[in-house]
């Protein structure tokens, strides 16, 4: 008996596919960052990863705004996060400063990448089991995008001060392992979703965002160093809060 013909698929407006398109563009940015690092264009590589981070913050919000959430979109987003925040930063760091360490440098890369994928898997399980990874305005551990930004901090320092020599490669490797541990830790880290601004203070927030944007565009690497330091203080605050609980 012949199989019944497939049901015709309904046409889908292109606008409903925009979140997936944004995710694909983010993946392309992360992969291209690796390619740029192979050619020694490390600043371009970092900028592409930062661009992928911005796109990661847009695709989910765009999907909710367009009411176009889908299973394939969720899977694409998870795979994009691993490529852009687990693989790309680690490989760029390795090509930039860790090749001389050979095996030890590669172990640091593997540790960071594995910690990232474990962090993402834990996040996905929490979502599927309807358990919110964002408890009382705090994430459990450092989110993958923030981990990618933190792990590249030695590169920001090098670019900001035009250093002729890097930080010691062994120290950079240990730092990568530390950031990997923060990804899978149970330390509560503050979520921007918890930020509530009263109407009378909205103008101050907008001015602050404008100043931050101008600083990043004008003094890109120094601004990123400052953001990493500020986020580090937030992590220490979360650790102190956890110990007091």
Percent residues over pLDDT 90 in the chain:
38
User: pLDDT digits over 226-244, tens only?
Assistant: 989 988 888 888 777 667 6
Residue ranges of E strands in the chain? 134-135, 138-140, 188-190
Nearest-angstrom CA–CA distance, 164 and 58? 37
Rounded mean pLDDT of 127-145? 70
- In the chain, the largest separation of any two C-alpha atoms, in whole Å, equals 74
List the domains of the chain with CATH numbers. Answer: 14-244 (1.20.120.1760)
Nearest-angstrom CA–CA distance, 197 and 171? 40
CB 117 within 8 A of CB 148: no
Which class for 240: exposed (0-12), middle (13-18), buried (19 or more C-beta within 10 A)? exposed
User: pLDDT digits over 194-232, tens only?
Assistant: 566 667 767 777 787 788 888 878 888 999 999 899 888
The predicted pLDDT at position 8 comes to 47
Rounded mean pLDDT of 36-45? 94
The predicted pLDDT at position 1 comes to 46
Question: Tokens 């979109």 sit at which residue?
Answer: 73
How many CB atoms within 10 Å of residue 69?
Answer: 11
pTM, rounded to two decimals = 0.84
Question: Tokens 């309807």 sit at which residue?
Answer: 130
């Amino acid at each position: 008996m012949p199989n019944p013909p497939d049901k015709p698929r309904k046409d889908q407006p292109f606008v409903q596919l925009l979140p997936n398109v944004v995710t694909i563009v983010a993946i392309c940015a992360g992969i291209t960052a690796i390619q740029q690092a192979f050619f020694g264009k490390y600043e371009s590589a970092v900028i592409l990863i930062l661009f992928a981070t911005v796109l990661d913050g847009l695709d989910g919000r765009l999907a909710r705004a367009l009411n176009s959430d889908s299973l394939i979109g969720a899977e694409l987003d998870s795979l994009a996060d691993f490529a852009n925040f687990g693989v790309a930063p680690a490989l760029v760091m390795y090509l930039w400063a860790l090749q001389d360490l050979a095996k030890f440098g590669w172990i640091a890369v593997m540790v960071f990448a594995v910690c990232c994928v474990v962090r993402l898997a834990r996040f996905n399980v929490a979502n599927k089991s309807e358990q919110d990874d964002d408890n009382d305005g705090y994430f459990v551990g450092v989110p993958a995008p923030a981990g990618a930004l933190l792990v590249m901090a030695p590169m920001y320092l090098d670019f900001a001060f035009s250093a002729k020599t890097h930080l010691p490669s062994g120290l950079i490797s240990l730092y990568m392992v530390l950031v990997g541990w923060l990804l899978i830790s149970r330390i509560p880290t503050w979520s921007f979703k918890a930020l509530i601004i009263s109407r009378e203070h909205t103008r101050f927030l907008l001015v602050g965002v404008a100043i931050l944007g101008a600083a990043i565009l004008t003094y890109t690497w120094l601004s990123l160093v400052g953001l990493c330091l500020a986020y580090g203080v937030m992590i220490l605050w979360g650790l102190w809060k956890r110990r007091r609980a």
